[in-house]
């Protein structure tokens, strides 16, 4: 698959994922650009991929982690690595913004690994197997993170929706 098709197919989805992971829409744009620069460097090997979705999300995750480490090392205002509800809201907002706000606020309260599992599963439609490949974790670990996250979300949103 060539780079243009990868962007057309996964660009928006990766942007939303990066905004949720990094906590900043503008930083997500920068990291997305780095992701595609890295993918361009893979060149011909991209055409040999059997599961491009997993591969591009793994590259996106690695670039996001690299960005977050760099931000901490540079001590740039020591912004939290946890997502802000506003960045999540602007990347996923649908027609029902008050409900979206409640969900975004609840997601922002989850630990990063649990939030990542929910974002990839619910919002991006990845399977547990694909999420495990993206995160380089065992499938049961990913499934339990998702389950714990959904339990916490139920508790946080109970009576509000």
Q: What is the C-alpha separation between 45 and 70, in angstroms, rounded?
A: 28
Gap between the Cα atoms of 95 and 83, Å rounded: 21
Residues 51/69, Cβ–Cβ less than 8 Å: no
Confidence of residue 78 (pLDDT cuts 50, 70, 90): very low
Tens of pLDDT, residues 104-147: 889 989 999 999 999 999 999 999 999 999 999 999 999 999 99
Quote the radius of gyration of the chain (alpha carbons, Å): 16
Domain range summary for the chain, segments of one domain joined by +: 3-157
pLDDT, tens only, 10-33: 999 999 999 999 988 999 999 999
CB-based contacts of 159, cutoff 8 Å, min separation 6: none
pLDDT in tens, 36-46: 999 999 876 77
Residue 51 DSSP one-character state: -
Report the predicted TM-score, pTM, of the whole model to 2 decimal places. 0.77
Per-residue pLDDT band at 71 (split at 50, 70, 90): confident
Q: Write down the pLDDT at residue 85.
A: 55
Q: Which homologous superfamily does the CATH classification assign to the domain defined by 3-157?
A: PhyR, sigma-like (SL) domain (1.20.140.160)
């Amino acid at each position: 698959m060539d780079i243009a098709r990868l962007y057309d197919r996964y660009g928006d989805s990766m942007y939303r994922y990066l905004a949720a992971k990094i906590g900043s829409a503008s930083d997500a744009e920068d990291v997305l650009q780095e992701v595609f620069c890295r993918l361009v460097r893979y060149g011909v090997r991209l055409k040999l991929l059997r599961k491009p979705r997993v591969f591009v999300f793994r590259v996106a995750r690695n670039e996001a982690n690299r960005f977050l480490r760099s931000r901490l090392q540079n001590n740039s205002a020591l912004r939290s690595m946890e997502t802000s509800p506003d960045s999540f809201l602007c990347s996923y907002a649908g027609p029902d913004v008050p409900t979206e706000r409640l969900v975004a606020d609840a997601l922002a309260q989850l630990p990063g690994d649990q939030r990542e599992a929910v974002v990839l599963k619910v919002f991006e439609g990845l399977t547990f197997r694909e999420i495990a490949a993206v995160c380089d974790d065992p499938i049961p670990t990913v499934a339990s993170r998702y389950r714990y996250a959904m339990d916490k979300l139920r508790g946080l949103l109970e009576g509000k929706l």
